[in-house]
Chain A
Amino acid sequence: MTAAVIEPVDGAGAGTRDRVLDLAQRYGVYAALAVLIAVATAMNTDFMSASNWRVQLFQAAPTVLVALGMALVIGTEGVDLSVGATIALAASIIPLYIGYGPAPAIVLALLLGAAAGAVGGSMVAFAGVQPIVATLSLMIGLRGLAELLNGAAAKPVADTTILNLGEQNVAGVPLMAWIALAATGAVAYTVRRTTFGRQLVAIGDNKRASLLAGLPVRRVLVTVYVLSGVLSALAGVLIVGHGAEADPANQGLNMELSAITAVVVGGTPLAGGRVRVLGTVAGAMFMQLASAVLIQHNVPTSTTQIVEAVLICLAVYVSRERGTR
């Protein structure tokens, strides 16, 4: 891995345990994913079938998109709780504007996602509001707004372009998954190879030092939340296409939790200053496959939730700042 950031040199006191934890943080998610796939295949030979993988990719693609945006936000030591509500907002826009054709409706949904991100980002960057609160207020407000726009019940969406986005396979792989893959490539390139990516990581590592070094801190922060909003809105469009309906009351619920989990399990520290893009994708896939395997073996959802909670705790324990109390 060509890290864009020089890894912090551990103090002389860094023991074997810390080194093991470091490795676990960086590569644990891939190992866990491999073990999970191996175990699932051993227990159920249908697990490796193309049809099963297609189902899993359809399920995971929107989460991957949202988690990519979340990884960028968490890289700047922020958090974006408004992603689920942004999905709902994008979903509510589609049936309203589909009369003008699919392209304007999709563009408008993405623009609204960007606007939502810009509002949250501006609160964080210009007013100095804590990311959790700024995006919490958006999370509550935007879902209410989406439900107001949409009316009480779910609205069916029958536009072929939107349905294709959500249901089409290209070369045997869901179109959604290709979109998520393209987004992954773009985000990975941004983080590793662009000035913006380096600035983002620097700000997450030490905001004050970044300011003193003359980095455009506010602009970068707003951009990060805008990206998160756009990616969430895109996920919202895909979810509408996959379900053939817009249901802002239920679409995107708990998505912020899934996305944060994917990012944390993927080895991105919550304290910012580092973004693991591929790890985030692996984390999202791991959580999706784990819940799918448990459901396939008729494990009740309660157990699934408890397993998820334990996994989150494990991931955070491994990635916590060591040597501090």
Chain B
Amino acid sequence: MSVRTPRTLAPVPAPPPREGAEGLLETPRERWIRRAERRGPLVVLVAVCAAATAASPSDASWSDVSTILGNNAFVWLLALGMTFVITTGGIDLSVGSLYALGGVLAARGSAHGPWLAIVLPLAVCAAWGAVQGLLVAYGGMAPFIVTLAGLLGARGLLQALTNQGSTTYLVPAGSWFRHLGAGTWVPVGIVAVLFAAGWVLMERTGYGATLTAIGGNQDSAVLLGLPVARAKVLVYLLSGTLAGAAGALGGARLGSGVTTIGVGYELTAIAAVVIGGTLLTGGYGTIGGTVCGVLLLAVIHHLIDRYLSQYGSAMTDAVNGAFLAVVVLAQALLERSRRR
């Protein structure tokens, strides 16, 4: 809840609701604010890409695009799962650790056959997510802390599996599991299909509506008779599973389980989701926005690599942080001017 001046909190009768979900009783100004909130990320993305292309036409070459897409595609799945979690008003800090854990488990399982390489990480990460969901939904514990413990615990499990990182599990050279992560088209295809499925889940199913309702007002959702606790368990399970899948596919791409990977990925995922327009307070999540968010961060990263590579990742971090600050400020101010 935002802090407002006492002036606006004076005990006057509330104005009639002018929420324009149906375009009903919505002033033109409110409509523009709503459009800016919904379409802002896409506009910024197109503007950045257009500016970059204008600055250097060779930038739009296929090799650059495939670099942007192929190398990062799997990490975007963390943002997909995070979108669902944040829609309920929760947060999942464990995804970076689960990403690394999924990669190691996939590499370890691949020694016994490609199917195990897929099933093992999915099963373990789904179970991990489910336990976190149970603690949040039935234990009444804060998601931030539960998943923080999950971040530490999953990292610890990963270290234990690899004897403190001294054992490296390799994916056998002939395994077809490797094809899942190779090239540009296969990873992008897999990620695109999952994002499409995520969009359907969010926009076209009762479950998506339940998640949104929980984030909007959990007490109301309970009183409505929605299966709140179950939905919350499932959402952390989903986030964990997607992180495990992303890790497994990343392991397939790299051909081995890398233990040091994934640190801080949860922050990038949260940043992408927030930049995409999903509200961290919960109650509104947008899959399309998250797609714009991850692409924006990837493009910014790529541009900095290209033009400011002498400053390395520090510049990327500084720019991303500033960018995120500007976006959340813009969101907060738009939200406020809409309520006025």
Contact = CB atoms under 8 A, between A and B. Distances in A.
B197 interface: no
A144 B321 contact: yes
A264 B274 contact: no
A16 B6 CA distance: 42
Interface string A30-59: 000000000000000000000000000000
A143 B317 contact: yes
Interface of B: 1-4, 6, 9, 91, 135, 138-142, 144-146, 148-153, 155-160, 164, 222, 229, 267, 270-271, 274, 280-281, 311-322, 324-325, 328-329, 331-333, 335-336
A191 interface: no
B82 to A, nearest CB: 13
Interface string A82-126: 000000000000000000000000000000000000000001011
B131 to A, nearest CB: 10
B314 A148 contact: yes
B91 A257 contact: no
B26 to A, nearest CB: 22
B136 to A, nearest CB: 10
A136 interface: yes
Contacts of A133: 270, 274, 280, 324, 328
Nearest to B159: A302
Interface string A289-325: 0000000000011111110111011001100111011
B159 A138 contact: no
Contacts of A304: 156
B325 A141 contact: yes
A123 B328 contact: yes
A306 B229 CA distance: 26
A309 B2 CA distance: 32
A223 to B, nearest CB: 14
B3 A207 contact: yes
Contacts of B148: 257, 260-261, 312
Interface residues on A, range: 35 or more
Instruction: Choose among A123, A130, A208, A211 the residue with the greatest number of B CB atoms under 10 Å from its CB.
Output: A130
A48 B332 CA distance: 53
Contact of A313 (B2, B146, B156, B319): B146
Interface stretch (A61-69, A214-222, A275-283): A214-222
A203 B157 CA distance: 39
Given A140-B320, A144-B316, A316-B141, A306 B332 contact: no
A303 B281 contact: no
A148 to B, nearest CB: 5
B320 A130 contact: no
Interface of A: 79, 123, 125-130, 132-134, 136-148, 152, 207-208, 211-212, 214, 217-218, 221, 257, 260-261, 264, 270-271, 300-306, 308-310, 312-313, 316-317, 320-322, 324-325
B3 A128 contact: yes
B324 A136 contact: yes
B156 A309 contact: yes
Given A79-B144, A127-B329, A305-B159, A138 B321 contact: yes
19 contacts: A123-B329, A128-B335, A129-B329, A129-B332, A132-B144, A132-B280, A133-B324, A139-B321, A141-B325, A145-B318, A148-B311, A148-B318, A217-B3, A264-B145, A270-B142, A302-B159, A302-B160, A305-B156, A316-B146
Contact of A137 (B2, B91, B328): B328
B152 A125 contact: no
A294 B141 CA distance: 27
B156 A306 contact: yes
Given A134-B325, A305-B153, 15 more contacts: A128-B2, A137-B322, A138-B321, A140-B321, A141-B318, A144-B313, A144-B315, A145-B318, A147-B317, A260-B145, A302-B156, A302-B159, A305-B152, A305-B159, A325-B138
Contact of A320 (B140, B160, B314, B315): B140
Given A132-B91, A145-B318, A313-B149, A214 B324 contact: no
A301 B159 contact: yes
Nearest to B154: A309
